[in-house]
């Protein structure tokens, strides 16, 4: 009875919010996209990429809070499916539009069209990307920016806005990468050939290192695709810079020469403003920072992006902050900011721990209904290297979980209820004693409206003295980051939890040999992915799935379920 009351109250609240927003001029914003292969030179080396409407990166979507975004997407890839995930959009009432292949929908088949329709439910800095195979690593991504609704104001002032979409780029095709990751012997993808800013970089060339006396550069810029990005600004103004990372592998650090940055937003949520000289950005994260253009107006300044968390074998990416009226092609005379040492984790933690919720941010429930501990380990299955969670490596089925759970269909890959903890004697500081694991769906069924604590526990990989950074992204929700710690999590660590001003995020980092604790409310009917946002790690099984309130999901569009067992069910019902 209580559950029914809670559901009714939730639906009434959502209707009230909808009615309020209708009075603020919400609109439907329509986009018509065709996804296909393009020849492009993002780092001055021409390669085949995935583009939208013949271009890379994909077009920027701009909407206002409360607007409905409608994207009619046609798949022009000749031999593979495609989906688009709207990263950070929670999809209240539209879980089939989340864009996760085999979880929320079937892949869109070649030469077929699927229409995504969803609410831009919260102002903030977001992006979109492919979520089938490793298509994000092939260039399928773009920016998605949601402005405050008409009549609303941001809690900070700025005179202008700039946008930085960061990524890394591999010359090896994603199909070759996937084959190597699944091979025995294992073939690692290696480090990226380039870092890109708004889809532009220069392979094997540092602009700053090749500046000649006449102000030119010896880098061979043979295509407008890879021309250095310039951001034009006026002196003595305040600019908001929106930053998001779609990287396949790399953790990044960003700095702007001679300019301090004030962090004001993280993953679409306002944070207590704090000032930094540089900032770490992990795959899947987004931020807004404010800068003041109070430096010498006769100069331009470098924007530098370098690798963190891995021994860098990739040159930093550089863009130019161009003070008007200087020429955009005039290279800065000062050297670019230096990226901190790749393994200076103290520097990274110092930045991360400063991110706290701004006053007025919703606070987490004081108590939890359910706690799940997830051990991130590197394992083997039939001799092949995999990543596993509580010793189960994620493998997706041919039937989308949203449909199979909604309609009570048998899931062939389900291995039973996944473990919610790991052995008490597991030593996270050494390689696993028994490296063998199994495959499964890793579907955790949560009680609707329950409060969930998740402890993300990092550990040693298969190699000795090896533990990596893992940024984890949750679909369908924001969560509160309650705390971080070193070594193995214990019950005593609960006393460290921040319940006063924990930040709301949708992506969070786990540091090597450490743990991260998050809390969220399972109040969004649907089936939601929770996974490491490093593309090869997810491909190798580092993820789980949360199912909550699926019986409350309305009618799922039939075009989202045309594959696997749901496809057979639809065909049978059509014949009848």
pLDDT class for 205, splitting at 50, 70, 90? confident
Residues 6+ apart with CB under 8 A from 392: 415, 418, 419, 437, 438, 439, 440, 442
pLDDT of residue 18: 39
Statement: residue 211 has pLDDT above 70: no
Statement: residue 5 has pLDDT above 50: no
pLDDT of residue 574: 59
CB 400, CB 556: distance < 8 Å: no
- The least confident of 17-31, 71-85, 545-559 is 17-31
Q: Are strands 261-266 and 269-276 parallel, antiparallel or unpaired?
A: antiparallel
pLDDT of residue 278: 98
CA dist., res. 420 & res. 159, Å (int)? 49
pLDDT of residue 411: 63
pLDDT tens string 178-202: 999 999 999 999 999 999 999 999 9
SS3 state of residue 72: strand
Statement: residue 324 has pLDDT above 60: yes
pLDDT class for 311, splitting at 50, 70, 90? very high
pLDDT tens string 251-280: 999 999 999 999 999 999 999 999 999 999
What are the DSSP E strand ranges found in 82-139? Answer: 84-87, 113-119, 124-130
pLDDT of residue 19: 34
Q: Looking at mean pLDDT, say which of 11-15, 95-99, 216-220, 564-568 comes out highest.
A: 95-99
pLDDT of residue 26: 81
Q: What is the mean pLDDT of residues 159-185?
A: 98
Alpha helices in 139-242 (DSSP H): 174-181
pLDDT of residue 400: 95
Statement: residue 220 has pLDDT above 80: no
pLDDT tens string 502-516: 999 999 999 999 999
Q: What is the mean pLDDT of the chain?
A: 92
Statement: residue 322 has pLDDT above 50: yes
- The least confident of 208-217, 237-246, 315-324, 329-338 is 208-217
pLDDT of residue 576: 57
Statement: residue 216 has pLDDT above 80: no
pLDDT of residue 25: 66
pLDDT of residue 329: 87
Among residues 209, 42, 91, the alpha carbon closest in space to that of 523 is found at 91
Which domains, and CATH codes, for the chain? Answer: 2-147 (2.60.40.420), 160-353 (2.60.40.420), 370-571 (2.60.40.420)
Among residues 348, 385, 190, 171, the alpha carbon closest in space to that of 254 is found at 348
State pTM to two decimals: 0.93
- The least confident of 7-11, 129-133, 172-176 is 7-11
């Amino acid at each position: 009875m209580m559950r029914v009351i809670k559901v009714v109250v939730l639906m009434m609240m959502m209707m009230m919010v909808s009615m309020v927003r209708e009075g603020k001029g919400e609109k439907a914003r329509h986009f018509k996209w065709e996804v296909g292969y393009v020849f492009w030179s993002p780092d001055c080396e021409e390669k085949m990429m995935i583009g939208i409407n013949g271009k890379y990166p994909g077009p920027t979507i701009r909407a206002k809070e409360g607007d409905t975004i409608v994207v009619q997407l046609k798949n022009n890839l000749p031999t593979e499916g495609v989906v688009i995930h709207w990263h950070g959009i929670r999809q209240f009432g539209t879980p089939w539009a989340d864009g996760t292949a085999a979880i929320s929908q079937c892949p869109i088949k070649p030469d077929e069209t699927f229409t995504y329709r969803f609410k831009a439910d919260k102002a903030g800095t977001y992006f979109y990307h492919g979520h089938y195979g490793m298509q994000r690593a092939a260039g399928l991504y773009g920016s998605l920016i949601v402005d405050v609704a008409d009549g609303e104001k941001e809690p900070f002032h700025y005179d202008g806005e700039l946008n930085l979409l960061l990524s890394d780029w591999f010359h090896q095709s994603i199909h070759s990468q996937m084959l190597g990751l699944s091979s025995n012997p294992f073939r690692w993808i290696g480090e990226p050939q380039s870092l890109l800013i708004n889809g532009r970089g220069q392979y094997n060339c540092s602009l700053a290192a090749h500046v000649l006396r006449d102000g030119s550069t010896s880098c061979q810029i043979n295509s407008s695709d890879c021309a250095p990005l310039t951001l034009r600004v006026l002196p003595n103004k305040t600019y908001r810079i929106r930053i998001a990372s779609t990287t396949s592998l790399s953790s990044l650090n960003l700095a702007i020469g001679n300019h301090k940055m004030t962090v004001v937003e993280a993953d679409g949520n306002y944070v207590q403003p704090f000032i930094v000289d540089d900032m770490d950005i992990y795959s899947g994260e987004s931020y807004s920072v404010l800068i003041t253009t109070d430096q010498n107006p006769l100069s331009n300044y470098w924007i530098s992006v370098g690798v963190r968390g891995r021994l860098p074998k990739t040159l930093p990416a550089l863009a130019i902050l161009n003070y008007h009226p200087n020429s955009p092609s005039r290279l800065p005379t000062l050297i670019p900011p230096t990226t901190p040492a790749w393994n200076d984790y103290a520097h990274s933690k110092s930045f991360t721990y400063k991110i706290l919720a701004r006053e007025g941010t919703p606070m987490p429930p004081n108590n939890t209904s359910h706690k799940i501990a997830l051990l991130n380990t590197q394992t083997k299955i039939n001799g092949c290297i995999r990543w596993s969670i509580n010793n189960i490596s994620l493998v997706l089925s041919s039937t989308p979980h949203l449909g199979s759970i909604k309609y009570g269909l048998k899931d062939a890959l389900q291995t039973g209820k996944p473990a919610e903890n790991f052995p008490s004697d597991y030593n996270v500081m050494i390689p696993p004693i028994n490296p063998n694991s199994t495959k499964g769906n890793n579907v955790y069924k949560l009680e609707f409206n329950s409060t969930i604590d998740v402890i993300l526990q990092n550990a040693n990989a298969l190699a000795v003295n090896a533990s990596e950074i893992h940024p984890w992204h949750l679909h369908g929700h924001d969560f509160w980051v309650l705390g971080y710690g070193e070594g193995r999590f214990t019950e005593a660590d609960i006393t460290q939890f921040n319940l006063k001003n924990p930040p709301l995020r949708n992506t969070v980092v786990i540091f090597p040999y450490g743990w991260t604790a998050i809390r969220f409310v399972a109040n969004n009917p649907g089936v939601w992915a929770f996974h490491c946002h490093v593309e090869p790690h997810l491909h190798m099984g580092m993820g789980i799935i949360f199912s909550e309130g699926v019986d409350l999901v309305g009618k799922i569009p039939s075009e989202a379920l045309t594959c696997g067992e749901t496809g057979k069910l639809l065909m049978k019902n059509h014949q009848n």
